[in-house]
Amino acid sequence: MMIRIENVSKTFTLHNQGGAVIEVMRDANLTVGAGECVALTGSSGAGKSTLMRMIYGNYLAASGRIVVGEVDVARAEPREILELRRHTLGYVSQFLRVVPRVPTLDVVAEPLRAVGVPGNAARARAEELLARLNIPETLWGLSPTTFSGGEQQRVNIARGFAHEYPAMLLDEPTASLDAVNRATVLSLIEEAKARGAAIVGIFHDEAARDRVADRQIDVSNFTPARVA
């Protein structure tokens, strides 16, 4: 199994609001094999993004194991998680966060540069992805910070698919895309599955979910009953 989640729970302690402890997840279990795409479902607030962020090591699990490849993200040192993110675990979030001033082409090529791909090869792959996602060539030399929301989303996807990660997390990858670009993104996901990537995704777009997901997991099953 590429991704294995065992008995994971999550609490938030709000120290500045009287130390309130909010339990948001309990006994979460999930496995994703190579070449498989699992869709997280459940109503807004059920914890889909929370679970995804825990897999990425962005949120701290309160207990349980989150094993990606060989690494237990719930216990790993920062440098082990960074190494995992560089080589093994990709994440396409809903928002593009970049250093100001850096040209789009370099933003997209960066994950490849980080694993040692030479500049020319990395840029060639970045160009190919940007072209596929219909980002006009005239924009490649500019920083994406001033682009429209849809353009930023496509740059984010190009960046996320530049390196062929064995495991990927996709948070609403088709949101705010037109039909043509949506189809391109779904093809990218299918290609990633075909080369053996294990994928966890959140898709509000049901047709997209039905097309790429092999299984669905309702995260509401992991939501503890709220005490009124």
Residues that bind other proteins (CB under 8 A): 12-16, 53, 57-60, 78-79, 81-82, 97, 99-102
CB closer to other proteins out of 78 and 136:
78
Alpha carbon distance 67, 91 (integer Å): 16
Amino acid at position 18, single letter: G
Q: How do beta strands 37-41 and 89-92 pair?
A: unpaired
Closer to other proteins by CB, 74 or 188: give it: 74
**Min. distance of Cβ 23 from other proteins in angstroms?**
15
Nearest residue (CB) to other proteins, 9 versus 134: 9
The distance of closest approach from Cβ of residue 99 to other proteins in the complex, given in angstroms and rounded to an integer, is 5
User: Minimum distance between the CB of residue 71 and other proteins, rounded to whole angstroms?
Assistant: 13
**Nearest in space to 65 (alpha carbons), one of 29, 89, 39, 91:** 29
Q: Which lies closer to other proteins via its Cβ, residue 156 or residue 184?
A: 156
Helix 149-162 crosses helix 179-194 at what angle (to 10 degrees)? 10
Q: Give the number of other CB atoms < 10 A from CB of residue 87.
A: 16
Q: How far is the CB of 79 from other proteins (least distance, A)?
A: 6
Which residues have a Cβ under 8 Å from the Cβ of 117 and sit 6 or more positions away?
125, 163
Residue 13 or 148: which CB sits closer to other proteins?
13
Give me the residue label for tokens 């701290």: 60
CB of 130 to other proteins, least distance (A): 20
Spatial distance between the Cα atoms of 228 and 29, rounded to a whole number of angstroms: 26
